[in-house]
Structure formats: C-alpha cells, structure tokens
Amino acid sequence: MAKVYVITSGKGGTGKTTSTVNLGSAFNKFGEEVVIVDANLTTPNIGLYFGAPIVPLNLNHVMQGKANVEDAIYEHESGVKIIPSSLSLKEAKKIKYDSLSEIAIDLKKKFDYVIMDSAAGLGEEAKSAIEVGDDIIVVTNPNILSVTDALKTIKLAEELNKDVKGVIITRVKGERSEMSIQNIKEMLEVPVLGIVPEDDAINESLARKNSVIHTYPRSKSSRAYKEIAAKILGKKLKEESFFERVLASLGFG
C-alpha cells in the first residue's frame, strides 16, 4: 500500500530538507517508486537542491487548479522524481492548503512512496502537511532547544491522530555539550530512526545540486541516510567491503 511520509521539524535549520532529499534518494536507490514533494510552500528549497529553482509548472499551480499533478513531476538526472514549489512570494499568498490532501491521494495512485518536505514549526502551513501524512518523521539536532521544539511537533502530530514513525537526529558532532541519544529518546518517547553526523559532504552535495546519496555515496552522512531508509523499508543494507571503508576513511566519495 502506498504511503505518504511527512518530514517535519519544530524549528528551521535542523536538516529537515536535507533529510527529505536524501531519504527520497535512498528510497530510489532501493528501487522504490518514490516522489519528493516540496510542501514547504512559503520557503521551498527542493527545486534549488536539485538545480531546478524555476520550472514551468509546480506544486502551487496544481494547488490552484491550474495544472494536473503529473505535469508538475520532474525527473532529476539521478533518477529521483520531484515536485518543486514556487519561489515567488506572490504565489505563496495564493496557497490553498486544503488542496494538499487531494494531491497526496493522487500521488499515492502513481507512487509507492511520497516523501513530503513540510514547513518547520507549528503554524498552519506545517499543520496542513502533517494532516496529509500517513506517517510523520521529525528531524532534530542534539540540543535542548531543538529537541524541545521536536517534542512540540510530536505532540501536534499526535493531536491530529497521526502516527509518528520516529525521529532523525542530525548534525551530530559527538561533542560533550550535545544531549545523549538516550536522553533524546526518553524525552521524545518515539523511536530514533537514525543518527546523521555533521558532514562537509552534505554542503558539497548541495553545491553539486544533488543528494549526498549520489554525490558522496561512501560518506558518513550517506551511509546514515541509507541505513535509515533501509530501516523504514524493512530492507537489508549491503555491507561495505574493506576497500570501500578505506576509501571512505580517506575522503573519497
């Protein structure tokens, strides 16, 4: 059965969009039919991430009834399919949030998985995306402010009777000032789907207009996202050879 995963966070800057892009790319690598939807409608970044900031038709056009959803789907050179949103502030003022539900239903007829990037925070825009999700995935950093905001997001999802699949902890540096994984798990009371380390490869992948999964497949962050995707999909991730681990330790992709 097709499923919509909404990726959200209590605050901006946690790595929510990066997680959306790389989970979608990892699902694609596993051979799944997946589309990444930019439902962060006022500050969209999915198109920018994949080098398609401006496209003829986007999610805003679909939500306004000016285009069919299949006309707003674009395939990146990596094979990942995306639906970008408009960067225009004028278009953002015309958003009809209630149409997102119908779009999600249509996409579930065409794809096995829909991975939707939502707005950060607890406002109407974030809520509209959470409401269409079958499962919610919350992204947080390992500090008390971010985790507290993540808890608020989890509570909002639960109030909307949505299942919270778990949390992804990103930008982990292993510093003493960070909250421990155990403390985060106890505070949020949801499963930890995975831990993504701070990694320069992520910024480098953004500069190359692609996911870290494709640009630096042996990087620490790429491995982390593939492990998370495997856990969600119930699949086994192939073990790296000794030679591949050596290359990764030397910084080769």
Q: Give residue 35's identity as a one-letter amino acid code.
A: V
Do the Cβ atoms of 2 and 115 come closer than 8 Å? no
* Burial class, 35, CB count within 10 angstroms (exposed 0-12 / middle 13-18 / buried 19+): buried
pLDDT over threshold 80, residue 169: yes
pLDDT of residue 244 exceeding 70: no
- Report the pLDDT averaged over residues 25-32: 97
Q: Is 83 helix (H, G, I), strand (E, B) or coil?
A: strand
Joined tokens for residue 44: 């969209």
Q: pLDDT value at position 91?
A: 66
Give CA separation, 173 vs 19, 99, 140, 142, 164, in Å: 17, 40, 13, 9, 25
What's the whole-number average pLDDT of the chain? 92
Diameter of the chain measured on Cα atoms: 54
**Would the pLDDT of 243 be above 50?**
no
Query: pLDDT tens for residues 48-92?
Result: 999 988 899 999 999 989 999 999 999 999 999 999 999 876 666
H helix or E strand, kind and range, residue 244: helix 242-249
Mean pLDDT value across residues 164-175? 97
First to last CA, the chain: 35
pLDDT at 209 over 70: yes
Average pLDDT over every residue of 198-217? 96
pTM of full prediction above 0.75? yes
Mean pLDDT within 32-48? 95
Q: Which residue has the tokens 């004028």?
A: 90
Q: How many residues does the chain have?
A: 253
At 220, the amino acid letter reads: K
Distance (Å, whole) CA 229 – CA 23: 6
User: How far is 210 from 217, CA to CA, in rounded Å?
Assistant: 11
Q: Where residue 86 sits, what CATH number does that domain have?
A: 3.40.50.300
Range of the domain at 144: 3-249
Phi-psi region of 91 (alpha: psi -120 to 50; beta: other; left: phi over 0): alpha
Instruction: Tell me how far apart the alpha carbons of residues 76 and 227 are, in angstroms, rounded to a whole number.
Output: 23
pLDDT band, very low/low/confident/very high, at 240 (cuts 50, 70, 90): low
Cβ–Cβ < 8 Å for 122, 156: yes
Cβ–Cβ < 8 Å for 118, 39: yes
DSSP code at position 34: E
Q: Where are the alpha helices (DSSP H) in 168-236?
A: 181-188, 200-207, 212-215, 220-233
Q: In what order do the strands lie in the sheet with 113-118?
A: 74-75, 81-83, 34-39, 113-118, 3-8, 135-140, 163-172, 192-197
| Residue 134 near residue 5, CB atoms below 8 Å | yes
The predicted-structure confidence for 103-129, as pLDDT tens digits, reads as follows: 999 999 999 999 999 999 999 999 999
Evaluate if residue 222 carries a pLDDT over 80: yes
Taking residues 187-199, what's their average pLDDT? 97
Domain count, the chain: 1
